[in-house]
Amino acid sequence: MPVNPADGAVFGALFGSEAMRAIFDERAFFQRMLDVEATLAEVEAELGLIPAFAARAIRAAARVENLDFAALAASTRKVGYPVVGLVHALSAAAETLAPGAGRYTHWGATTQDILDTAQVLQIRDALALIRSDLVATIAAWAHQAEQHRQTVMAGRTHLQHAAPVTFGLKCAVWFTPLLEHVERLDTLRPRLCRVQFGGAAGTLASLGAQGLAVMEALAKALDLAVPPVPWHVARDGLAEAVSFLGLLTGSLGKIATDVILLAQTEIAELAEPYEAGRGGSSTMPQKRNPIASEYILAAMRGVQALVPLMQGAMAQDHERGTGPWQAEPLALPQAFLLSHGALLHTRALAEGLVVDAERMRQNLEITGGLILAEAVMMGLAPHFGREEAHHRVKLACDRALAQRISLAEALAQDAAVQAKLDRQAIAELMDPARYLGSTEAFIDRALAKARSCF
């Protein structure tokens, strides 16, 4: 029975994806280890280090179905790692296929070579999955940005009305960091997707003069990069991967936070995609809770809590860590699972978000024009200077709030203002659609960059 809800049959639907679980599934991990062992045998046979018949038998035997998981668990409890039990089972299976083949398994390797390389193969697949859904999410938000480039709404700072923006610009602000994450992912892969092969203490001494040749051939066969030296105790690549996921989920969390705030009953400018019963309450029939956004934020906090664990695991002792390395499996698969779950929720939001443009316009007007105070100030600045214009508009705002009147009415009480700008000029200054500055240009720039990802 899973202890972590993200791995459960019920809560797992909210916290992750079956595709990512399939990558990091325990049986899949053992198959990856067997793949590495079999590939190692093949390249060593090509180099003349072991007999070709042995490599063929090892490859044929390297199937997870040949493992006795009860025996493997017992061995792991005793040894501390599963590779000894795995190699024993692989050797026995190879021996039944070709007598004498079993003695050539795991030739020149050490436990961490197999574990780390198998993990890198998993991460490579996981990053490809993340990238695919990340690009699709960007495309969906880009479509929203284009569709709503002129949908005017209140821009808010410190949760207060600030100045008009458009929902299209807000979407562009949401997806632009995701574009940066695609770039981060692409630059991360070469540093991370590297073979691990160093032998007992990182010298490959057991392979004599053929050590580097085996390392390079193994990397080529697995389509991995060759590191300058074995990275048994240099864990920056793995730490960077989870740090990247922390950044990614942070950006997704920003989107989720905005959606939650804009979906509040009193604001109601957005709503999550709806289907009967989604976001419902066990006691309040009217509820449509922003459930996807809530789980994005939960996943974000979970991933970001794992970042210090991975970064702390970088301080490894000598040529093999005693503890930090063993902590990594607690963090890395869960970080990928939670991140992909959050990304899928965000993609669903982008593709099905309900936008109430009329409500946005209504909310824009609830302050009686106060949201255009800066526009009026800048209109008066050529006549009074910026500081004096700011002072006069501030007094007008105070009067509007105290008397519960519109900003235009409050400005009409200032004879000096009226002498410079008549009611028509003030009305034009207080048209939200006229005070959007470079909004369309910013959207165009964001969309142009997004197109490079598609």
Q: What is the pLDDT of residues 195-216, one digit of tens each?
A: 999 999 999 999 999 999 999 9
* Residue 279 pLDDT: 55
Catalytic site includes residue 281: yes
Q: What is the reported pLDDT for 365?
A: 94
Out of 158-167, 235-244, 405-414, pick the least confident: 405-414
Under the banding of pLDDT at 50, 70 and 90, the label for residue 72 is: very high
Model pLDDT, residue 6:
80
Q: At what angle do helices 83-97 and 52-61 cross, to 10 degrees?
A: 110
pLDDT tens sequence across 180-195: 999 999 999 999 999 9
Annotation: CATH topology of 18-107: Fumarase C; Chain B, domain 1 (1.10.275)
Q: What's 366-451's CATH class?
A: mainly alpha
Is the model's pLDDT at 114 over the cut of 70?
Answer: yes
Which is the catalytic residue, given 281, 301, 434, 438? 281
According to the model, what pLDDT value does residue 253 have?
98
How much is the average pLDDT of 65-91?
A: 93
Give mean pLDDT, residues 127-135: 98
Judged against a pLDDT cut of 60, whether residue 274 lies above it is answered with yes
Q: Is the per-residue pLDDT at 350 higher than 70?
A: yes
From the list 17, 10, 28, the residue with the least C-alpha distance to 121 is 28
Averaged pLDDT of the chain: 93
Domain ranges of the chain: 18-107, 113-365, 366-451
In sequence order, the 6+-apart residues with CB closer than 8 A to the CB of 24 are 122, 126, 333, 336, 337
Q: Which of 124, 131, 288, 320 is catalytic?
A: 320
pTM: 0.93
Indicate the SS3 state at residue 138. helix
Asked if the domains 18-107 and 366-451 are classified in one and the same CATH topology, the answer is no
Which pLDDT does position 102 carry in this prediction? 95
For residue 309, which of 236, 232, 239 has the smallest C-alpha distance? 239
What's the chain's length in residues?
454
In the structure encoding, which two tokens stand for residue 323, read together?
């503890």
CATH topology of domain 113-365: Fumarase C; Chain A, domain 2 (1.20.200)
Q: Are 383 and 293 in contact (CB under 8 A)?
A: no
189 is a catalytic site residue: no
For range 256-267, the mean pLDDT: 96
Average pLDDT (296-314) is 96
